[in-house]
Amino acid sequence: MFVAAEPDRRLKAVRVLEQAGQVVHCRAPGPKEAPDWVQRRAQELGGRITRPAALLLVALVGTDLGRLDSELAKAMDYAGQGAVVGEEHVRAVASAAAPARIFDLLDAVAEGRAADAARQVPLLLETGEPPLRVLAALTRQMRTLLQVRLLADRGWGADDLQKRLRLHPYVVKKSLQQARRWEPWDLAQGLMACVEAETDVKTGRKNDEAALDLLVTRLATRQLRPLTRRCR
């Protein structure tokens, strides 16, 4: 058996091996294929996982099959023998991880659940996540929601959005649901509020944790003052 990451097929030795033997491509699945693998793997382990839960698991863990296998096993153990693994089980086993916490915070903010959003901030910071990184995540979220809302209003579907914005299928699905809760102008104001918060921290006008707390409250309660500058 010969193993190569990227064999150079211009080499005579490689061509001879390909003609004499059988070539097996072992490419890792991408974001679109990984949820299928997760569902097949769950069946191999004697269980089941819903499609939304498989999408969420890939969004949180990535496409590394070793990590997916490990986290899937945890979720199945948590759900119990014979139970179908759902999103709540995936979130439960990943609740201590920073990516899961950030997902919970972003969901609470986008859906206007102010109390839940306020509770997520200290829990997220306890994981060691820097406030500036959380601010950056909120900025990306508001920008994504604004893009999704504007394109969806023009008739773009989930597949088109995924290709254009290069987003994970789960993120596209969630963003479409959440963007409908906002008016486009409110999303633009929210994005500007994120930029203002980051600027305040980086220029020393506000403490990073204080700026994050204030921003989360403003976004989740939709208490956004009118834009002072016209967007070009």
Residues 14-69: tens digit of each pLDDT: 788 888 888 877 777 777 888 999 999 999 999 999 999 998 888 877 788 888 89
Residues 212 and 141 in one domain: yes
**Structural domain contains residue 11:** no
The answer on 109 and 216 residing in a single domain is: yes
pTM equals: 0.62
- The CATH number assigned to the domain holding 163 equals 1.20.272.10
Tens-digit pLDDT profile for residues 200-224: 998 888 899 999 999 999 999 988 7
- Are 42 and 140 in a shared domain? no
Let me know if residue 29 belongs to a domain: no
- Identify whether residues 209 and 112 lie together within a single domain: yes
Residues 74, 123, single domain; the answer is no
Triad 27, 29, 33: Cα angle to 5°? 145
Q: pLDDT per residue over 92-126, tens digit each?
A: 787 555 566 777 888 889 888 999 899 888 888 88
> Within this chain, do residues 82 and 127 fall inside the same structural domain, yes or no?
no
Nearest to 215 by CA among 94, 102, 117, 76: 117
Q: Domain of 83: which CATH number?
A: 1.10.8.60
Cβ neighbours for 187, distance < 8 A, ≥ 6 positions apart: 142, 145, 146, 149, 179
Query: Which of the four pLDDT bands, split at 50, 70 and 90, describes residue 231?
Result: very low
Q: pLDDT-derived band of residue 226, with 50, 70 and 90 as boundaries? A: low
Q: Give the model's pLDDT for residue 184.
A: 92
Residue 150 and residue 88 share a domain: no
Are both 55 and 148 inside the same structural domain? no
Distance of CA 26 to the CA centre of its chain: 26
Q: Is 16 contained in some domain?
A: no
User: Could you list the residue range(s) of the whole structural domain that residue 154 is in?
Assistant: 98-167+182-221
Residue 61 inside a domain? The answer is: yes
Q: What is the pLDDT of residues 64-89, one digit of tens each?
A: 888 889 889 989 998 988 899 999 89
In a domain, 111, yes or no: yes
Q: 132 in a domain, yes or no? A: yes
Closest CA to 111 of 191, 182, 57: 182
Q: Do 118 and 41 belong together in one domain? A: no
